[in-house]
Chains A and B, each alone.
Chain A
Amino acid sequence: MASSLDSEVWTEKYRPKKFEEMVGQEEIIKRVRSLTNSLNIPHLLFAGPAGTGKSTLALIVVKQLFGDSWRDNYLELNASDERGIDVIRQKVKDFARTRAIGNVPFKVIFLDEADALTREAQQALRRTMENYTSTCRFILSCNYSSKILDPIQSRAVIFRFQLLEKKDIKKRIDIITQNEGLTITGDAFDSLYESSEGDCRRVINLIQATASISPNLTSDLVNTLVSKAKPSDIKIVLDYALSGDFINSKEKLLEIMLKESISGQDVIKAIQKEIWNLPIDNSLKVKLTERTGEIEFRLVEGSDEFIQLESLIAGFVMAGQGTA
C-alpha cells in the first residue's frame, strides 16, 4: 500500500492522521481515544453513513496502538469485495497465527462494509471472532447496524456515526484549499455540500476533480462537474414507462445499471426522488411512492434487482394510462 503521506489522491492526502484532526463525531472520538490510550480495545463496531470517518478512525486507532509497526499488525478486508467467508477466514487465520509485534498483545483486523456479509458468513465470523479473541481485535464498519447479527453486535462496542455537519466539512475544505492554493466561493461550497449529502469523501473527490479544471472553484464549475459525474438520468426510464413503452424503459434501465455499475437500491432512490415531479395525478404519485417503498424494502432484503424494478416500472406504465 502506498504511504498516504505523499498520496496524490486527496482523499488519502488529507485523511486525518490523528484523533485531533478529525472533524465532527466528538463524543465517539473522545471515547475511542481513551480506549486506545489504555492499549486494550474491545471489538468495535462503527455504524453510520458513508464518508463520515469510520475508516479514518479505524486507521488512526491502529496507528496510535502500533506506532511505526502498524502495517505488520493490521489487516484490512472489505466484505463487499471479499464476500466468501472462507476467504476471510483463511486470511484471518493466516494473519492471526503469528504474534503481534511490539508491546500490544493483539493485532487488529478492520472489516469494512461488514453489512455486506450474508447471515451465514456472519455466523462464521462470530465464531472466528471468539476463537481468535486473544490475538486479534476486530473493528467492523457498516452503514446499517441492523444488518449485523445480534450476537456480533453484542460482542462489540457500537459507535453510531452521524452525518457531518456543514461547519465540520468546511474545516476540512479550508485546509485543502489553503494547502493546494485554491480559492472557493461561498456558493461553490454550498453546491459541494448539497451534492455530497454530508459525505466528506465525496466532497474531497469533487474538489479534486474541480480543481483539475481550475484552481478557482465557483459554483458553476462545481455544478458542471457534479452533473458530469451524475449517472444517466433515471427520468428517461420513467418517461418511456409513462408513455407506455415498457420494452424501451426496461432496456434503458438495464443499460444504466450495467454501464455505470449502479445498484438497484441507488436506482430506486433516484426513482423515488423523481416521482413527485412526474406529470401525473397526485393520487397516482402516492400509490407509486407506496409501491416504490415496498420494492425498496424487497431489494434491501436481497430480492432480484431486475425483476423487482421491472415490476415497479410496469406500475409506471399503468400510471401513464391514468390508473394504478
Chain B
Amino acid sequence: MINKENIPWVEKYRVRSFSDVSGQDLAIEKVKLFLRTFPKKRSIIFHGPSGIGKTSLAYAVALENDSEILELNASDLRDKKKISEIIGPASRQKSLFKKDKIILVDEVDGVSAVKDRGGLAELIVLIEKSAFPIIITANDIWQKKFNLIRKKSEVVALKEVDYKVILGVLKKICEKENCFVSNEVLTSISIKARGDIRAALNDLQILSKMDSPEMIKEIGERNKEKSIFTALQYVFKNSKIDSEMVRVFDDIDMSIDEIFLWIEENIPLEYKGEEMFRAFEALALADVYRGRIRRQRHYRFMVYEYFLLGAGVAGVKKYNRAGWTSYKKPSRILKIWLSNQRALKKKSICSKYARHCHISTKQAMKDFLLIKIILNSKLVRRDLKLNEEEIAYLDKPIIL
C-alpha cells in the first residue's frame, strides 16, 4: 500500500472541481462553452507554461461532468492498436447507460513530427471521429507541426497563476496538513514560483519536512509588514528629503538587516536606469557603513547608515512618484536557505573530501565541479568512505 505520507502534495491536492481550480476563471468559462456546444468542435487545447494547472483543469472538467478520463500520452499516439481501442468505441454512438468519457491527450509537445511520424496524423483522425470531447494539453501550441490540430480545436491559453492565488492555495494546504509556515516564507515561495503552482507545492512540501526556526509562525507579522510597506512607499514615492524621511525607519519593528533586504528587493521595481543605479549606490554605501559599524563597533556611523538607506535611496529622483507599486518581500534569504538545504549532501561530500585532502570544506565546495569528476572513481569513493546517499547524489545531483 502506498504510504499516504509519501504522496506528493501535487497529487494529493489535485483539484476535484472547477471551484478548486485556482486563478483560471476565464479558461473555465471557455471550457464550459466548449462542452455545451460539443460537437461543434470536438477538441479543446489548453496551452501555457508548465505547472499552471493544465492537466488539473482537464481532470476537473471530467469530475464536473461525471465523466471518465481516457488518457493518451505522447507515446500512445504512435501505437495504432491503442488508438483504435479508443477510436473504436469512441466513434460509435454514445451509450445511454455507460458513463461519459473525456479523452485527454496530455503534453502533445512530446510528439515529434519527424520521429513519431504518424502520431499527429492519428490525433487528427481521432479529433475528426470522436464522439467524446478531447482535451489536449501543450506548453507551446504555436509550433508549425500543430497547425492543423490548432485549426480544428478550440484554443485556450492558461495564464500564469498570480502569486496571491498561489499563496491562498499554500495557506489552505498548510491548514489541512497541520503545518505552520510563516506568512513571509509562504509569500516568498509563491513569488519565487513565478506562476508555477506545481513548483510552489513542491517547495512547500520540502520545507514542511524540515525543522527550522523559519517554520515558527511569527505573531504580529501583519503589523510589521504594514509599517515596512508604509516606509517603502514613503522612500520610493517622495523626492523631498525632510525630517520625516530621515526618521523613516525609526518606528519599524524590524532589524536593520531586514530593512536592507526590503530596500534591495524593491529598488528595481520602482527605479530604472540612472535612478536605479544611484539608488543602489546609496544602498551599497549604507552597507559599507553597516560593515564598519559591525567590525569596529563604531556606532556613530549608524547615522550615515540610516540616512543613506532612507534619504539616500529617496533622493535619487527629481519628482514625486505617482501611482501605487506592489512591493515584494525579500526573496534572497529564502533562496539562499532553500539552496543550502539542497546543498547539504554536496556539503557532506565536500567535508569528507576536505578532511582527506587538508583543505577547507569551502574550498572543496568551490572546486566541486572538478572534484565531482574525480569522485566518479569507485576507488576514490571508497577511500573517502562516502555513504549510499552521497553516492546517489553524485550519480544524480539534484538540480536547483
Question: How far is the CB of B286 from the nearest CB of chain A, in Å?
Answer: 8
User: CB < 8 Å: which of B288, B361, B366 contacts A301?
Assistant: B288
A205 to B357, CA, bound (A): 11
Contact at B339–A258, with CB atoms within 8 Å? yes
Kindly report which residue of chain A lies nearest to residue B286, judged by CB atoms: A307
Say yes or no for B281: interface residue by CB 8 A criterion: yes
In Å, the complex CA distance between A244 and B276 comes to 11
B374/A315 in contact, CB under 8 A: no
Is the CB–CB distance between B295 and A310 below 8 Å?
no
Asked whether, in the complex, the Cβ of A250 is within 8 Å of the Cβ of B268, the reply is yes
Given contacts A250-B268, A301-B288, contact A8 B277 (CB under 8 A): no
Determine chain A's interface SS by DSSP, over half rule: helix
Contacts of B356 in A (CB 8 A): 1-2, 7, 9, 12
Which residues of chain B are within 8 angstroms of A150 by Cβ–Cβ distance? Answer: none
- Bound Cα distance A272, B371 (Å): 26
CB <8 Å contact, B273 and A317 = yes
Extra inter-chain contacts (7) besides given A10-B374, A261-B343, CB under 8 Å: A59-B358, A78-B354, A78-B360, A205-B374, A246-B276, A254-B335, A321-B273
Decide yes or no whether B367 CB sits under 8 A from chain A. yes
**Which of A201, A212, A302, A307 contacts B376 (CB under 8 A)?**
A212
Please state if B268 and A247 are interface contacts (CB–CB under 8 Å).
yes
Tell me the dominant secondary structure on chain B's binding face: helix
The answer to whether A298 touches B288, judged by C-beta atoms less than 8 angstroms apart, is yes
Which among A11, A12, A307 is the interface contact of B283 at CB below 8 angstroms? A307
Q: A80-B360, A254-B335, A263-B366 are in contact. Are A208 and B374 (CB under 8 A)?
A: yes
How many chain-A residues does the 8 Å CB contact rule pick out? 63
Tell me if A260 and B295 are in contact (CB < 8 A).
no
Q: In the bound complex, do residue B369 and residue A323 qualify as a contact, i.e. CB atoms below 8 Å apart?
A: no
Given contacts A9-B356, A307-B287, contact A261 B366 (CB under 8 A): yes
Asked if residues B374 and A231 are in contact (CB atoms below 8 Å), the reply is no
Interface string of A230-270 (1 = CB under 8 A from B): 11000000000000101100100011001111110010000
Q: State whether the Cβ of A20 lies closer than 8 Å to any Cβ in chain B.
A: no
- Could you tell me if B332 and A314 are in contact, using CB atoms closer than 8 angstroms? no
CB distance from B315 to the nearest CB of A (A): 16
Q: What's the minimum C-beta distance from A236 to chain B, rounded to whole angstroms?
A: 16
Q: What are 26 A-B residue pairs whose CB atoms fall within 8 Å in the complex?
A: A2-B356, A8-B383, A9-B374, A55-B358, A80-B361, A81-B354, A81-B361, A202-B367, A205-B370, A212-B377, A225-B370, A247-B268, A254-B332, A259-B400, A260-B368, A295-B284, A298-B287, A302-B294, A303-B291, A304-B287, A307-B264, A308-B287, A311-B277, A311-B280, A314-B277, A317-B277
Residue ID in chain A nearest B367 by CB atoms: A205
A262–B354 Cα gap in the complex (Å)? 17
Residue in B281, B355, B358 whose CB lies within 8 Å of A311: B281
In the complex, A316 Cα to B281 Cα: how many Å?
13
- By a CB distance below 8 angstroms, the chain B residues around A317 are 273, 276-277
Closest to B362 in A: A80
Query: Which residues of B370-386 are within 8 A (CB) of A?
Result: 370-371, 373-374, 376-377, 379-380, 382-384
Q: Which residues of B contact A307 (CB under 8 A)?
A: 260, 264, 280, 283-284, 287
Complex partner residue of A323 from B274, B288, B362, CB under 8 angstroms:
B274
Chain A residue contacts of B384, Cβ below 8 A: 2, 9
Is A112 an interface position by the 8 A CB rule? yes
Give the CA-CA distance A1 to B400 in the complex, in Å.
Answer: 32
Of the candidates B277, B291, B346, B383, the one whose C-beta lies within 8 Å of that of A2 is B383
- In the assembled complex, how far is the CB of residue B8 from the closest CB belonging to chain A, in whole angstroms? 23
Other-chain residue from A254, A258, A318 in contact with B274 (beta carbon distance below 8 A): A318
Partner of B339, one of A259, A295, A308: A259
Q: A303-B291, A307-B283 are in contact. Are A212 and B374 (CB under 8 A)?
A: yes
Q: What is the CB-to-nearest-CB distance from A135 to chain B, in angstroms, rounded to a whole number?
A: 23
- Say if the beta carbon of B365 comes within 8 Å of chain A: yes
Nearest-neighbour CB distance to chain A for B317, whole angstroms, equals 15
A118 cross-chain contacts in B, Cβ below 8 A: 295
Which of chain B's residues 318-371 have a Cβ closer than 8 Å to chain A?
332, 335-336, 339, 343, 346, 351, 353-363, 365-371
- A318/B277 in contact, CB under 8 A: yes
Within the complex, which residue of B332, B360, B368, B379 is in contact with A113, where a contact is CB–CB below 8 Å? B360
